[in-house]
């Protein structure tokens, strides 16, 4: 039923595991295991949804990222292995006591992975979508991170001041941060329609659309980030494969130093890393 899809056999196996409440080792070791009528009906419903190009992660309701399991829904982007490049780079610079800000947090997979792997850290995740933040909060509770993370709804940095308090007053509660990370919308608007159905029709448009040139959110983050970073703090941004130079230039113009592009395991540009100087450049 899924033979016409690129990873149809793998998808079919994952959906069978979910329907039967088992894993691949059990399926291989006990291929004779009978499938109940209820399991068969559920499996067939999963196959039908996948045939209509619904992503497997949304059917299953969860997705692995950095060795952890995250709940997902159509309200959030599906955690992607490429994004692990951003998390891995962040882990290289984090230390106990650091505070992290995750802009456009979605499922919370980046922030929660960092908190899980870097003891003594804490963080704040922001997102414009209340539905996305509900998923992130659920993941935080499932991973036992509710005491180390806060979630704020709003547009990028504005979420930190949603209650109307003066910036200087709310800064004590929400910043400055040692590290800011973000996987913002960065796909050019005109390109979205050319993507696979699993992306363009299933994942949230607002989490994909980076505007006419794909750089709208990078400009806004570059403009505001210095006010929310500690001196010497780091900014890590996921990028599209062809955006390394443009995003690097934006950050350099705003006074960031040590700006570099980091490639993923497929040798594509994936992350731009930058540091806020200890003292402002003259």
Q: Is residue 14 part of a domain?
A: yes
Residue 175: pLDDT over 80 = no
Binned at pLDDT 50, 70 and 90, residue 83 comes out as: very high
Residue 164: pLDDT over 60 = no
Residue 238: pLDDT over 80 = yes
Cβ-contact 139, 130 below 8 angstroms: no
Pair 24, 122 in one domain: no
CA trace torsion 22, 43, 12, 193 (10° rounding) = -130
The mean pLDDT of 242-263, rounded to a whole number, is 97
Pair 25, 136 in one domain: no
Pair 200, 227 in one domain: yes
Q: How far apart are CA 49 and CA 44, in angstroms?
A: 9
Pair 78, 121 in one domain: yes
Pair 224, 183 in one domain: yes
- Give the DSSP H or E segment for 99: strand 99-103
Pair 83, 141 in one domain: yes
Beta partners for residue 153, in sequence order: 127
Q: Is residue 218 part of a domain?
A: yes
Q: Which residue has the higher pLDDT, 210 or 11?
A: 210
Q: How far apart are CA 59 and CA 55, in angstroms?
A: 7
Q: Is residue 75 part of a domain?
A: yes
Pair 35, 160 in one domain: no
Domain of 200, in residue numbers: 66-275
Average confidence score pLDDT of the chain? 90
pLDDT number for residue 162? 66
> What are φ and ψ of residue 189, in 5° steps?
-55, -45
How many domains, in total, are found in the chain? 2
Residue 29: pLDDT over 90 = no
Q: How far apart are CA 91 and CA 28, in angstroms?
A: 36
Q: Which residue has the higher pLDDT, 33 or 154?
A: 154
Pair 174, 244 in one domain: yes
């Amino acid at each position: 039923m899924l033979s016409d899809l690129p990873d149809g056999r793998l998808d079919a196996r994952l959906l069978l595991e979910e329907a039967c409440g088992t894993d691949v080792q059990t399926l291989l070791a006990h291929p004779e295991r009978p499938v109940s009528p209820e399991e068969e009906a559920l499996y067939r419903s999963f196959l039908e949804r996948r045939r209509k190009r619904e992503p497997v992660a949304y059917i299953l309701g969860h997705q692995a990222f950095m060795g952890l399991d995250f709940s997902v829904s159509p309200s959030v982007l599906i955690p992607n292995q490429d994004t692990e490049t951003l998390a891995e780079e962040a882990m290289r610079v984090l230390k106990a006591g650091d505070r992290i800000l995750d802009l456009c947090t979605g499922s919370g997979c980046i922030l929660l992975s960092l908190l899980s792997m870097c003891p003594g850290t804490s963080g704040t995740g922001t997102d414009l979508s209340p539905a996305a933040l509900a998923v992130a909060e659920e993941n935080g509770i499932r991973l036992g991170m509710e005491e180390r993370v806060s979630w704020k709804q709003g547009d990028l940095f504005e979420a930190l001041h949603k209650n109307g308090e003066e910036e200087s007053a709310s800064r004590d509660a929400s910043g400055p941060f040692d590290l800011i990370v973000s996987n913002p919308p960065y796909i050019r608007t005109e390109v979205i329609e050319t993507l696979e159905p699993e992306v363009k029709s299933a994942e949230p448009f607002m989490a994909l659309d980076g505007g006419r040139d794909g750089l709208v959110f990078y400009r806004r983050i570059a403009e505001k980030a210095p006010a929310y970073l500690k001196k010497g703090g780091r900014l890590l941004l996921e990028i599209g494969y062809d955006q390394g130079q443009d995003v690097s230039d934006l950050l350099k113009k705003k006074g960031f130093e040590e700006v570099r592009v980091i490639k993923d395991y497929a040798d594509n540009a994936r992350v731009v890393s930058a540091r806020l100087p200890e003292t402002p450049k003259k």
